[in-house]
Structure formats: structure tokens, C-alpha cells
Amino acid sequence: LFGHVEPAPKDPILGVTEAYLADPSPDKVNVGVGAYRDDNGKPLVLDCVREAERRIAGNLNMEYLPMGGSVKMIEESLKLAYGEDSELIKDKRIAAVQALSGTGACRLFADFQKRFLPDSQIYIPTPTWSNHHNIWRDAQVPQKAYTYYHPESRGLDFAGLMNDIKNAPDGSFFMLHACAHNPTGVDPTEEQWREISHQFKVKKHFPFFDMAYQGFASGDPERDAKAIRIFLEDGHQIGCAQSYAKNMGLYGQRVGCLSILCEDEMQAVAVKSQLQQIARPMYSNPPVHGALVVSIILNDPELKSLWLKEVKGMADRIIGMRTALKENLEKLGSSLSWEHITNQIGMFCYSGMTPEQVDRLTNEFHIYMTRNGRISMAGVTTRNVGYLANAIHEVTK
Ligand code: LMR
């Protein structure tokens, strides 16, 4: 019956973790998956999360959440993305449901898009997080590429990006990384976001923001929501996928939020009911524990300020490691420019290394990363940065 089923190809990101775990070498380094590590290379559970869990302990029953998830968690998520005092929230114009982290939020949106705008397409940046392609493919929404990265400068190809926005048919759907672009670590400046928003307005495009790293770009979640706020000021309807995997370290809890800004409350009620309809046959209703952790933290001023401090701590450690990696490469006498390591932001450095160079890093030095040359800076530590720099220098000579 299943004789025709071929093994699936390895996932380009999660497959790296599998290979890393299988390597017995004591020198091995994992800078593949975007998952934060402390300076000892260990996963970090935030103090605010531990405290929220302490408050939950013994008080949590195991009842189902509603299909749309935790109302409290959604409320807090909207404040985080749209602004504490947003009129849009007061006017109940936002349809929002809890989602299985950022991936689940994107997938719910993609399914919604297919169901209600079956002829639409999605514009996705080149490059992007590999799973974006899988998500819209499985939702059967045709994909178009838009220019984003400029390989020579290892920065933004702003002219190319603007051209593609202008040349797309009016009313197109665009998937935008709200901050800390994955994999490149390259974000538009505030001024560039304003121009992008303006051009979206002219073209009546619909922006869908994937905000998986709010807090990881600048260390301040409020600042990292700037792109979204600019679009809101300009009066766009938007969609937004939020994740608490990275900024609260709740990776395995799968907690996130999908929101769609509608024309009015009535439309928002209808859209939310349809999002719930999409969720129901897939997973019925989302898990409760992580949602409770998030709502407790964001709803308590003390825990929230602890969280803000801890997010900044994670972002700052990564920024420190960027400087350390660059300085180590310079000290080794590398003749290449490594300015982009510190110019790029967020969890990743898009190093410019070729797949062959990455293969050498893995085969000769037990360093694991995705073949597109992306380094997860969150996996770099005081202890391994010298080893990593030396290996990079050897394969890029
Ligand atoms: C990554 O890009 O490494 C993360 O977003 C983890 C994942 O699920 O791919």
C-alpha cells in the first residue's frame, strides 16, 4: 500500500540539528537552528517564564481553550504588535486567534487566503525562511518572488525591492519580515519602510507581516514593531503572525497569534469565526500552557519589565558575539570584509559562505549550519567563537 512512498528530503534547518545530534565529536558546534543559547551553550528558560510557571503550578485545570485560543493571550499580543493604546484594538477591528507559534499563524493565514481569495498569490522575499515556501505551497497559494537581498553589499536591494512592489499587479499579497529578517539579518531602515508603505498604498497591496523576532532586532519589542506601526499610521489593512518562540524562549510550547486588521468590527467577527473554522478540523483548539505563561507575563507590570530586561539581555549577548566573531576573523588576518557580521541584526548572520564552504565546515570542523551560509549567532559563545572564526577563516582563504 505504501510501497511508492519515498523518504522525504531532510528539512534544510531542522535536518541540521539531527545531523549535529548524531555527531559524537566533542568539538561540535551547532549554529544551524535559530534557538537561543546562553554563553555556556545551554538552552535558556527566562526567569519571567519560571515565575509565571510557579504561579500556574497547581492552579491550571486541563480544560480545552476555545477554538480561537486564549482571549487574554490574544489581547496582550495585540497590544504588543499594534500598540498599547491602539484605537484599532478599542474599535475591535482586529480578528485574532491563538496560533501554533509563527508557523501555525502563517499557515492559518495562508489557508484563509486560499479559501477566501482563491485566485490570489503570495509574494515572498528572496531569500526567506525555507518554511515559508512549504507553508504557502501546502496551502496551495501560488508563490512569486520579490527582490530583497543584495549579495554584493550583503545588505538590502532597496531599488530592486521597490521595483518589484511597483511591478506586482495591484492588490497583491506580500509576506514581509517585520524585523530581524531570516535568514539575512538585513532590515529596511525606518525611512525605507515609510517608502515601502507608501508604495503599498499606491498599489493597494496587502502586507502580511511575519514577526517571529520582536525584541531580537533592537532588544526592544516596541522598537521592533516600528514597521507595522508605520503601515498602521498609513491606514493599511494588515495581517500579522506573532511568535513567542524566540522572544520568550517558548520554542516547544508553540504559542503565537495570528491577527488580521479588518475594515470594521462586523468584518472582524466574521473573519475570526472563519479562522476558527480552519483551526477546528486541523487541531481543534490550541494548547493552553504556553498561552497562560505569555498572558501572565504580559499582564503583570513587574513580570513584563523583567521580560523586557531579559529579551534585551539575549539581544545584547548576540550583538556581543557578532563583534567577537568579526574581531577574531580580523585577528586571524582574513583578507575578506566581515563588516556585515555587525551590520546585520537579529539572530542570524548571512555570512556569504557557499554551500561547499559550509560542507567543509561541517566535514572538517564539526560545525553545523544551513547550507545557505546562515550562521545562527544565538549558538555562538565566548568558548566557541575562536574555534568558529578559525574554521571560517580556513574555508574562506
Ligand atoms: C530557524 O529559522 O532556524 C527557526 O525559525 C527555526 C525553524 O523552525 O526553522
- How far away, in angstroms, is 87 Cα from ligand 1 center? 33
- How far away, in angstroms, is 106 Cα from ligand 1 center? 13
List 226, 246, 272, 326, catalytic entry:
246
Looking only at the bridges linking them, the beta strands covering 348-350 and 374-376 are: antiparallel
Alpha carbon nearest to ligand 1 atom 2, residue: 34
Residue 13 Cβ inside 6 Å of ligand 1? The answer reads yes
Residue 131 Cβ inside 6 Å of ligand 1? The answer reads yes
Residue 334 buriedness (CB in 10 A; 0-12 / 13-18 / 19+): middle
- Closest ligand 1 atom to Cα of 212: 5
User: What is the share, in percent, of the chain residues with pLDDT greater than 90?
Assistant: 99
Residue 362 pLDDT grade (very low, low, confident, very high; cuts 50, 70, 90): very high
| The pLDDT of residue 61 | 84
**In the structure grid, which three cell numbers stand for residue 58, read together?**
497547581
Looking only at the bridges linking them, the beta strands covering 94-99 and 256-261 are: antiparallel
Q: What is the mean pLDDT of residues 86-113?
A: 98
Residue that is written with C-alpha cell 514577526 in the block: 211
* ipTM for this model: 0.94
Q: Residue 21: is its pLDDT beyond 80?
A: yes
Q: Does the reported pTM lie above 0.90?
A: yes
Q: Which domains are delineated in the chain?
A: 14-45+308-396 (3.90.1150.10), 65-299 (3.40.640.10)
Looking only at the bridges linking them, the beta strands covering 122-126 and 143-147 are: parallel
47 has catalytic annotation: no
Q: Residue 345: is its pLDDT beyond 80?
A: yes
| The pLDDT of residue 96 | 98
| The pLDDT of residue 60 | 78
User: Hey, which of 10, 11, 13 would you mutate to test ligand 1's pocket, going by the most ligand atoms within 8 Å of its Cβ?
Assistant: 13
Q: Residue 58: is its pLDDT beyond 90?
A: no
Question: Residue 104 is inside which H or E element, if any?
Answer: helix 101-116
DSSP 37: B
Q: What is the mean pLDDT of residues 328-353?
A: 96
Q: What is the mean pLDDT of residues 195-221?
A: 97
307 has catalytic annotation: no
- pLDDT tens figures, 145-183: 999 999 999 999 999 999 999 999 999 999 999 999 999
Q: Residue 394: is its pLDDT beyond 80?
A: yes
- Computed over every residue of the chain, the mean pLDDT equals 97
210 has catalytic annotation: yes
- How far away, in angstroms, is 34 Cα from ligand 1 center? 5
Q: Residue 59: is its pLDDT beyond 80?
A: no
Q: Residue 80: is its pLDDT beyond 90?
A: yes
Residue 34 Cβ inside 6 Å of ligand 1? The answer reads yes
Q: Hey, CA dihedral for 213, 218, 221, 224, is it positive or negative?
A: negative
| The pLDDT of residue 176 | 98
Residue 129 Cβ inside 6 Å of ligand 1? The answer reads yes
Q: What is the mean pLDDT of residues 169-198?
A: 98
What count of other Cβ atoms lies within 10 Å of the Cβ of residue 242? Answer: 29
- How far away, in angstroms, is 396 Cα from ligand 1 center? 25
Q: Residue 365: is its pLDDT beyond 80?
A: yes
Q: What is the mean pLDDT of residues 31-43?
A: 95
Q: Residue 65: is its pLDDT beyond 90?
A: yes
Question: Residue 42 is inside which H or E element, if any?
Answer: none
C-alpha–C-alpha distance, residues 195 and 172, integer Å = 17
List 210, 224, 307, 338, catalytic entry:
210
Residue 98 pLDDT grade (very low, low, confident, very high; cuts 50, 70, 90): very high
- How far away, in angstroms, is 373 Cα from ligand 1 center? 14
Residue 188 Cβ inside 6 Å of ligand 1? The answer reads no
- pLDDT tens figures, 295-322: 999 999 999 999 999 999 999 999 999 9
